[in-house]
C-alpha cells in the first residue's frame, strides 16, 4: 500500500513539473500567431533558440540573480528593468507584474519581449542568445514543426 501511495505521489509531482514546459513546435505556433516571425528581423528559430537557452522551454522558470533581481518566464525577463516583482527596485518598462510573465497564454511575456527587442540591441539584450544563437545556423529549431 505504501509503495502504491509513493508511486501516485511521484506521478503527480512529475505531472506538475512537466505542466510548465511547452513543446518546441507548440511554442513556434504561438510565436507565429503573435507575429514574431520576422519581428525586428528575427526568425522563429531565433526566438526558439532564445527560449531554449534561457529556460529550456519552461514557461514558469524564475531565477534569482546575484544583484537581487529575478528573471521570469520562458525568455527570462529581468525584474530590474522590465517588470514589477514587488521585491526589488524596478523600472517596469513593460508595465507588467512579473508574475504575469509566467502565464501559460504567453501573451504578456511575448508583448514584453517585443518591447525589449524593439529597443536598442534587439535580441542581443539576452547574453545567452548572443553566446549560443547569434550568427549560428538555427533552421533546425523549426524541424518537424507545421505552423498551419
Question: Cell 500567431, residue?
Answer: 33
Question: Cell 498551419, residue?
Answer: 148
54 as an active site residue: the answer is: yes
Question: Cell 511554442, residue?
Answer: 27
Q: Indicate the range of 11-20, 82-91, 107-116 predicted with least confidence.
A: 11-20
Task: Single out the catalytic residue among 46, 71, 85, 100.
Answer: 71
Q: How high is the pLDDT of residue 4?
A: 41
- On the question of pLDDT at 50 being above 90, the answer is yes
% of the chain beyond a pLDDT of 90:
84
100 as an active site residue: the answer is: no
Whole-number Å distance between alpha carbons of 78 and 72: 6
- On the question of pLDDT at 105 being above 90, the answer is yes
Task: Single out the catalytic residue among 46, 54, 85, 100.
Answer: 54
Whole-number Å distance between alpha carbons of 93 and 34: 20
Q: How confident is the model at residue 146 (pLDDT cuts 50, 70, 90)?
A: very high
- On the question of pLDDT at 10 being above 60, the answer is no
More confident position, 51 or 7: 51
Amino acid at each position: 500500500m505504501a509503495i502504491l501511495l509513493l508511486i501516485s505521489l511521484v506521478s503527480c509531482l512529475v505531472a506538475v513539473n512537466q505542466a510548465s514546459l511547452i513543446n518546441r513546435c507548440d511554442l513556434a505556433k504561438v510565436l507565429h500567431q503573435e507575429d514574431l516571425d520576422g519581428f525586428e528581423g528575427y526568425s522563429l528559430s531565433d526566438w526558439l533558440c532564445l527560449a531554449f537557452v534561457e529556460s529550456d522551454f519552461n514557461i514558469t522558470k524564475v531565477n534569482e540573480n546575484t544583484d537581487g533581481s529575478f528573471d521570469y518566464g520562458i525568455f527570462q525577463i529581468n525584474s530590474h528593468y522590465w517588470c514589477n516583482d514587488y521585491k526589488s527596485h524596478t523600472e517596469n518598462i513593460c508595465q507588467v507584474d512579473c508574475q504575469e510573465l509566467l502565464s501559460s497564454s504567453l501573451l504578456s511575456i511575448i508583448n514584453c519581449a517585443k518591447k525589449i527587442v524593439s529597443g536598442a540591441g534587439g535580441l542581443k539584450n539576452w547574453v545567452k542568445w548572443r553566446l549560443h544563437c547569434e550568427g549560428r545556423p538555427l533552421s533546425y529549431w523549426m524541424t518537424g514543426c507545421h505552423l498551419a
